[in-house]
Structure 1
Amino acid sequence: MKNIVVLFLSLFCVFSYAKETKITVRAKAKDAKFIGSSLGGAYVIIRNKINNTILAEGKTSGSTGNTDLIMKVPKLRESSIADDTTGKFLATLNIDEPTFISIEVLSPFNHKQAQAKVSTELWVIPGKDILGDGIILEIPGFIIDILKPRTHQYITLNSISGKPFQIQANIVMMCGCVIDKGGVWDSDKFETKVILNKDGKFVGESNLSLVSTNLFEGNISISTPGNYELFVYAFDPKTGNTGVDKINYVVY
C-alpha cells in the first residue's frame, strides 16, 4: 500500500508540473514589416529539438503592423515594434520540463518561388510564456513574379526581330509592402535588372524601371532562335537584400 501511495504521489508531481506555455512567433520581412494574413501568412513549425517531435504548427495571421512604429521610430531597448493586431502565430506548448526547441518559419507560404526558411533554437520553461513581440524571425528577399514573357512561351523570331523584347515583372517586399517611387520602399534605391541566357550561355542584361506601383518593365534584344532562360532580380545595395525569379521560354 505504501509503495502504491509513493508511486501515486510521484506521478501526481510529474503531471502537475506539466503546464501550458505560450509562445508568440512572428515573421518579419528584411527591412520591411511583418508577414500576416494579407500575404497568406508564414508557416511556423515548433519542434522538440531532442526527438524532433512537432509541438505546435500553424500560420501567422494579422496585419503587417504599424509602418511608422516599425520603419520610422527610433528603437530603444525593450521598445516594442508590434501590437495586438500585428501578424503572429500563438503557439501553446504542453511541456513538463525545461525543453530545448527549434522554431522554423517558411515564408511567404503562398509564394513558393520566393519562399525562404529561417530558424532559431531556444530553451522554454513550463509556464514561462514568451509573449509581446515574442520570437521574431527575419525573412530576407523580395517577391518577384515575371509577367512577360510567360513560362515556356513559344515565340516566333519574326514577331520580335528588330523590335525591343519587353520584360515585365511585379516586385514587392517579402511582407507584401509596396515598392514605389519616393515611397517608404523607394524604387530608386533598388537595382532591378534582367539577365538573359541562351542555350546555357550569357547573352545580355538590361535594366528594369518602375512604371507603376510594384510593376517594373524593360526591354532586351533577341536576334536568334534558341532556348532562353531569363532572370529578374532586385537588389538593395544598402541592406544586401536580394530577390530573384526566373523562367524559360523558346524562340523559334
Structure 2
Amino acid sequence: MRLRSRPSDTERVMRSLILWTLLLFSTTALAAETRLVVRALARDGKFVGTSMGGVRVVLRDAQSGQVLVSGVTAGSTGNTQTLMKQPQVRGAPLADESSAKFTATLDVTEPRLVTVEVSGPLAQRQALATSTTQLWMLPGKHIEGDGLILELPGFVMNVVTPSAHEFFKLPADKKLTLPLRANLTLMCGCPTEPKGLWDSSRYELQATVKHNGKPLTQLPLKYAGKTSTFEAALSVQQQGIYEVTVTAYDPITGNTGVDYTTFIVES
C-alpha cells in the first residue's frame, strides 16, 4: 500500500495563488463597463450648460450612500427650436451632440440601484437648486442619447443695484431716491423680456424693503428696457440700515427666484 505524500509548502502556496487568481478573474469577468449620461434641464427652459457653470452631478449607491462618481455637466444649452418651439414627439431626442451633459462610467457587476443628484447652476450660487432621482443600472446596459434628464425649477435672480453694503448720503431735505435694479434669467441663463420667448409680462417681480430690521415698504419692479433687467425707484427719508429682498414668480410654471442686498444711509 502506497501512502500519498503530503503537498509541500510550495505546492500549497501555488494552489492558493491559482485559486485566488481564478476567483479574481471570474469576478472581473462579471463586471461590465456601464455608461450613464446625465443632463439638467431648466424648467420652462433649456439645458444648464457651461455658460452657467454647469451643474454638479453625484451618483451614489442607493443603499450605502457611497459616492460612486461625480462631475460637472459641460456643453451648450441645446437647440431652442427643438426644446422650446416645435411640438415634442414621443421618442424624439431633445438633446443634440453639443447639449450639456455629464457621462458617468461605472463597472457594474449586478443590477444596482443608484441615486443621481444634480445641483446648479454653479456660476450662480444664490440660485442653486438640487434635484434627485433614482434608477437601476444594469451591467453593460448604457443609458445614453438624451440619457437621464433632471429638471431644475426656478429663476436666477441677481440684485445689481444697490450693491452689497453700499453707502449713501441723506441730503439736507431728507429726500433720497435710489434705483433698485435686478437681473432675471432662467436657470439655463435664458433671457427674459416682455413678449419674448420667456415672456416677463406674466412674471411678478417685487422688492420688499426693511429699515433697521422692520418692514418698510413693498414695490413692484418693471422692465427696464434692457433684456433681463428690471427696476424700481425707492424713496428713502431716514438714515439707517436697509435690507432689500427681490423676488420673482411665474404663476404659469411655478418658477421662483430670490436675491438680497443691504445698503446704509448716513446723514
Report the TM range for the smaller structure's normalisation: over 0.9
**In 1: Cα distance, 2:173 partner to 2:167 partner:** 12
**In 2: Cα distance, 1:45 partner to 1:198 partner:** 42
1:56 aligns with 2:79: no
Residue 253 of structure 2 aligns with an amino acid whose one-letter code is T
The equivalent of 1:24 in structure 2 is: 37
The equivalent of 1:182 in structure 2 is: 195
Indicate the percent of aligned positions where both proteins have the same amino acid: 39
Residue 225 of structure 1 aligns with an amino acid whose one-letter code is Q
TM-score after normalising by structure 1? 0.93
1:213, distance to aligned residue in structure 2 (A): 0.5
1:100 aligns with 2:113: yes
The equivalent of 1:223 in structure 2 is: 237
Instruction: Mark the runs of 5 or more structure 2 residues left unpaired by the alignment.
Output: 1-11
**In 2: Cα distance, 1:28 partner to 1:241 partner:** 13
Instruction: Report matched runs for 1:4-43 at 5 Å.
Output: 8-43=21-56
Distance 1:39 1:160, change over 3 A: farther
Instruction: Mark the runs of 5 or more structure 1 residues left unpaired by the alignment.
Output: none
**In 2: Cα distance, 1:90 partner to 1:119 partner:** 17
Q: 2:216 aligns with which of 203, 207, 210?
A: 203
The equivalent of 2:7 in structure 1 is: none
Contact 1:205 1:220 in 2 (8 A): no
Residue 189 of structure 1 aligns with an amino acid whose one-letter code is R
- The alignment yields a C-alpha RMSD, in angstroms, of 1.9
**In 1: Cα distance, 2:137 partner to 2:116 partner:** 12
Contact 2:170 2:176 in 1 (8 A): no
Q: 2:252 aligns with which of 213, 227, 238?
A: 238
Distance 1:69 1:160, change over 3 A: farther
The equivalent of 1:145 in structure 2 is: 158
- Residue by residue over 1:120-178, the C-alpha shift from the partner in whole angstroms, topping out at 9 and shown as x without a partner, is 11211111111111111111111111111110112222289324321011111110111
Q: 2:59 aligns with which of 26, 37, 46?
A: 46
1:49, distance to aligned residue in structure 2 (A): 2.1
- Residue by residue over 1:66-122, the C-alpha shift from the partner in whole angstroms, topping out at 9 and shown as x without a partner, is 112111222232222111111111111122221111111110012111111111112
Residues matched between the structures, number: 252
Residue 85 of structure 1 aligns with an amino acid whose one-letter code is S
The equivalent of 1:173 in structure 2 is: 186
**Structure whose alpha-carbon radius of gyration is higher:** 2
**In 2: Cα distance, 1:241 partner to 1:25 partner:** 22
Q: Which moved more, 1:230-239 or 1:72-81?
A: 72-81
TM-score after normalising by structure 2? 0.88
